[in-house]
Structure 1
Amino acid sequence: MSRAGHPALRALLALGLAAVAPVLAAPAVSAHQAGDLPTNTRGAQVETEGEGQAMEFVANLQYNDSGEAQNGSDIEFMRLGKKEYALAGTLREGLQIIDITRPRKPKRVAVYDCAISQGDIQVWTRRGRVLASYTADGTVGAAGAASRCGRDLDLAADDAGTVIVDLTKPKKPQSVSFLPVGAGSHNMTIHPSGKYLYNSNSDLLTAGVSPFITIYDISAPTKPRFVQDFGIPFVPTSLGSESHDITFSADGTRAYSAALSQTLVLDTTDPADPEIIGQIIDPAVNVAHQADPITMKDSDGVERTVLVVTDERAGAAASVECPGGGLHLYDITGDLETAPAKIGAWFAPAFSLQDGSTCTSHVLRIYPRQKLMTIAWYAQGVRVIDLSGLADAAADPLANPLAIAFGDGVGMTEVGYYTLPDSDSWSFKTNKIKRDGSFFGYSNDLVRGFDVFRYDGSTIGDVKPLKPKNLKPKASARVEGSGRSASLVLLVPAAVGGLLLHRVGARRRRTA
């Protein structure tokens, strides 16, 4: 059978997805409380041959030599000087720090020993330090408390929340602090200012009197300060109302919370005291997993903003068919952010019956200047999507909230993909895109571990290049709480001043 599938199966799946997608999947109540579970199977060695378009498999790196599932989760990047690193989270295997300066030969340089589950990652800089956050969904457990982060930060087995780690020296990661959140940290997001952290607990049962987003002030990373539990709406007769994931606009004035049975638009002009200005309750979305905006100009030069909401159908439970949950699109231009208008939904063109492995949309990254998206689709591997038509789709007077596209439509076109027989990709992102559209993409896979793929750009053409920002601190930067370095910054001026005073005094004595 071809990748598109038999026409009858294609029609059947399209009809099912359009009409009964919210009903097909029973909620996986326990799926997120200790992190996702691998559902695909592998042999003693991971597969190296698969199926794709405009993409090739490049390399794989294992987190352990067990020959079993590697439990990869989130992935982020940092560039320090001439070196580039991928930061790969895991379910209780610690934070993997991987040198990707030579993408075809990734090399692990360190592991931050923190045996907690979920491992969502954010990276930012503060006062000369390169910092990362690392989440514990549910409690850290006995293993987490006994691992290095638990010992350094004096964590108990029943603690839950987010660890902050210093990666200024990638080969020697250092524990900084811990932000306790009783309901756990499924995901957390750093405000663009680097001064606030928003926590998403993603619990299917409301954690308190009402659902909430926990906000911390992290302007002093060694001494994080609790700000508030910001209440969000409760959605009755739903599988949950807690925030699952949050994305900030580039200027930090807006946040978009995918909160299981709802998606919220927040005014975060004052990040310590946000305000809800819009809400989406869409029965076609089973589990609102991630909500990311993109702003582009349409063919008439009018700027439009579209919010892309992923449906992690059934909370990543094992599937009976593909493509599972898709991407739901809403026009939030101008006043529409208070009442978002749906313009359609997009699904991966992967039609198949499943033997129990998960198949649904998951972690994505949007590259606005390049008008591209990368996304992980669990058993259906990794995918590259052209978003260049989204603004025109939003502007179309015939835009229809019931419009459904499989691979091409509603302003989006799949331009590359790669699927391996043992794929179980949790996240897929890149840190660098060439002008010809080509890039190395990095997948963190529940079964396979760390994978490198290359998209050749042949199906997209020239784009604006994406270059990683150099986060390496300047030699003269003041490093808060870094012991000897901070002392030297203070001692050197004092020593110079003392020497000058000594010389002045000596000159006065000579002339007396």
Structure 2
Amino acid sequence: MILFSNPRTRRRRLGVGAATAGLLAALLTAQPAAAIPDPGDGPVAEKEVSDSTRAEVRKALKDGEIPGKDEIVHSDNIQHLANIPKDALPGINSDLAFQGRYAFAGNYDGFRIFDISKPTAPKTVAQVLCPGSQNDISVSGDLLFLSTDSSRSDSSCNSTTQPATEKSSWEGMKVFDISDKRNPRYVAAVETACGSHTHTLVPERKNVYVYVSSYSPNATYPDCQPPHDGISVIKVPRKAPEKAAVVGFPVLFPGEGPDGGGNPGSPTNPGVSKTTGCHDITVLADKGLAAGACMGDGILFSIKDPEHPKVIDRVQDNVNFAFWHSATFNQKANKVVFTDELGGGGAATCNAEIGPDRGADGIYDIVGKGDKRKLVFRSYFKIPRHQADTENCVAHNGSLIPVKGKDLMVQAWYQGGVSVWDFTDSAHPKEIAYFDRGPLTTDTISSGGAWSAYYYNGYIYANEMARGFDVLKIDDRRTNPARWVHLRELNVQTQPDYFD
């Protein structure tokens, strides 16, 4: 591990031209990379676009239909307070977690800790070099958790890439002691089947359970064999994190055959990902409830016994959803928002050709009681601004904005920017604020845009994949009551009871 400490630190009009059919087809049917499963937040290699697409983007820029390269546009009720560019970690910025006056920002090369006590001027406290896609991050007390979903030569922070076909390769969870924020200390590593694409904490007083989501098994991968139809559960003793270990692999999609019982995907359901594990899980620990976004399936399950989760209901959308990516409960736990990561985050899907229903959020009501609860579809939500055909754009990570009696959410959309929207009426969601930048480039599609956008203690924090760490402030009568809600800790996939 290498530690870097204390460095100094218009609204769019609709109507941008659709992507060329050849480009879009290539992006939406891309096959998984050997060591980093994709779709699902894989790093996006630069993709050349056609001359006609470049001409369309140039025309849209000239006509003012989209902002200029890197130009910032936003609604009147959002203010951009700060941007902290990348420093010692040049990789792709990923997820965020919060504790007290600190923000913890994942990056494909490690993680960075910010002091956000003054949101207008965040300061870097530490940067830790520890490569491993995608370094999904969370914190609990003195522990920080980091996901590794790329095949490495070993579990150290000095490891190198190594084919997943080699038995000695390592992927899984890393645990750090962050009692000294300026000097995080690597204390444990736990290998998990198919690595750890994302993870979710189920914290208890003495232990922290970690639900590890991973997918895309292959018969040639010794540590990632099919069927991979469940999640790994790790138990981490708070006072002895070095004893962290896998305590189970609950099967969520039981079925016969090598692929288990999840969505079979194509060709049975064309354009839909085959379910071979979960991408992301969100828990409401105090209610013993969880929602899983699992490639071709969305699930609701009970976690009253955290080592033995039990599926309550399961839904599919084989018309408009390609890849179930993440889940967010509302405060009353009678709704779930699922996101669809069409194109794996590497395609221009916020345009007229794709339309308003694909690559969108799906809003589901939870009806019934106990183990008889059901997920009932109500509507889709997608940002109402078309993006350039060189901007990767799709529904991504977001969080609730805690206002009693309202269902408000802030959400990242990659190069679609940051959107604040209201789904109090499940059937008629609407955007109420936005923040966006113009395209990274007008010649290629490359990784960029907000990976995560979360509301924490009065401000919105976004981890921009290419441009750095952003701080935003929303001033709106609908969201202003949330300013009075303050948390000691926030891992968005471990949703708190804001008003307990």
Query: Please, what TM-score do these two structures have when normalized by structure 2?
Result: 0.73
1:420 aligns with 2:456: no
- Opposite residue 358 of structure 1, the aligned amino acid is N
Give how far 1:112 is off. Answer: 2.3
- What does 1:49-448 align with in structure 2 at a 5 Å threshold? 49-53=71-75, 54-64=77-87, 70-79=91-100, 84-92=101-109, 94-125=110-141, 130-141=142-153, 145=156, 147=158, 158-193=169-204, 194-203=207-216, 207-219=225-237, 220-233=240-253, 234-238=262-266, 239-241=273-275, 242-251=277-286, 253-283=288-318, 284-296=320-332, 305-319=334-348, 321-322=350-351, 325-335=359-369, 338-355=373-390, 357-369=391-403, 371-387=407-423, 389-390=424-425, 393=426, 410-421=427-438, 422=440, 424-433=449-458, 440-448=459-467
Counterpart for residue 60 of structure 2: none
Question: Partners in 1 of 2:200 and 2:327 — Cα distance?
Answer: 12
Question: Partners in 1 of 2:449 and 2:483 — Cα distance?
Answer: 31
Structure 1 residues 12-35: Cα deviation after superposition (integer angstroms, max 9, x where no partner): 99xx9xxxx999933552395385
Question: Partners in 2 of 1:334 and 1:466 — Cα distance?
Answer: 30
Contact in 2 for aligned 1:55/1:453 (Cα 8 Å)? yes
Contact in 1 for aligned 2:290/2:303 (Cα 8 Å)? yes
* 3-state SS of paired residue (2:243): coil
Structure 1 residues 277-328: Cα deviation after superposition (integer angstroms, max 9, x where no partner): 11011112111000121144xxxxxxx7011100111211222543761110
- Opposite residue 290 of structure 1, the aligned amino acid is S
Question: Partners in 1 of 2:198 and 2:324 — Cα distance?
Answer: 13
Give how far 1:353 is off. Answer: 4.4
* 3-state SS of paired residue (2:105): strand
Aligned CA RMSD, in angstroms, stands at 3.4
Question: Partners in 2 of 1:38 and 1:90 — Cα distance?
Answer: 14
Contact in 2 for aligned 1:204/1:240 (Cα 8 Å)? no
Question: Partners in 2 of 1:180 and 1:252 — Cα distance?
Answer: 29
Q: Percent identity?
A: 25
- Opposite residue 254 of structure 1, the aligned amino acid is L
Unaligned 5+ runs, structure 2: 1-9, 48-67, 162-166, 219-223, 254-261, 267-272, 441-447, 491-500
Give how far 1:147 is off. Answer: 2.7
- Opposite residue 236 of structure 1, the aligned amino acid is P
Contact in 2 for aligned 1:192/1:251 (Cα 8 Å)? no
Contact in 2 for aligned 1:37/1:446 (Cα 8 Å)? no
Question: Partners in 1 of 2:417 and 2:486 — Cα distance?
Answer: 25
How many residue pairs get matched? 408
* 3-state SS of paired residue (1:314): helix
Go from structure 1 to structure 2 and tell me whether the alpha carbon gap of 1:110 and 1:431 turns closer, same or farther (over 3 Å shift). same
Question: Partners in 2 of 1:334 and 1:131 — Cα distance?
Answer: 37
* 3-state SS of paired residue (1:315): helix
Give how far 1:446 is off. Answer: 1.5
Contact in 2 for aligned 1:256/1:263 (Cα 8 Å)? yes
Question: Partners in 2 of 1:22 and 1:465 — Cα distance?
Answer: 47
Question: Partners in 2 of 1:261 and 1:235 — Cα distance?
Answer: 5
Contact in 2 for aligned 1:277/1:338 (Cα 8 Å)? yes
Go from structure 1 to structure 2 and tell me whether the alpha carbon gap of 1:454 and 1:32 turns closer, same or farther (over 3 Å shift). farther
Give how far 1:468 is off. Answer: 2.4
Question: Partners in 2 of 1:176 and 1:137 — Cα distance?
Answer: 19
Question: Partners in 1 of 2:243 and 2:160 — Cα distance?
Answer: 16
Question: Partners in 2 of 1:2 and 1:49 — Cα distance?
Answer: 12
Match of 1:29 among 25, 32, 35: 32
Tell me which moved more, 447-456 or 162-171: 447-456
* 3-state SS of paired residue (2:344): helix
* 3-state SS of paired residue (1:111): strand
Question: Partners in 1 of 2:69 and 2:455 — Cα distance?
Answer: 22
Give how far 1:122 is off. Answer: 1.5
Contact in 2 for aligned 1:217/1:227 (Cα 8 Å)? yes
Question: Partners in 2 of 1:211 and 1:181 — Cα distance?
Answer: 14
Unaligned 5+ runs, structure 1: 151-155, 297-303, 394-409, 434-439, 472-512
Counterpart for residue 3 of structure 2: none
Contact in 1 for aligned 2:330/2:336 (Cα 8 Å)? yes
- Opposite residue 298 of structure 2, the aligned amino acid is T
Question: Partners in 1 of 2:316 and 2:234 — Cα distance?
Answer: 27
* 3-state SS of paired residue (2:176): strand
Question: Partners in 2 of 1:117 and 1:240 — Cα distance?
Answer: 22
- Opposite residue 259 of structure 1, the aligned amino acid is C
Q: Between Structure 1 and Structure 2, which shows a larger proportion of helix residues?
A: 1
Structure 1 residues 140-171: Cα deviation after superposition (integer angstroms, max 9, x where no partner): 347x7453999xxxxx9721101011111100
Counterpart for residue 403 of structure 1: none
Question: Partners in 2 of 1:99 and 1:200 — Cα distance?
Answer: 29
Question: Partners in 1 of 2:285 and 2:349 — Cα distance?
Answer: 38
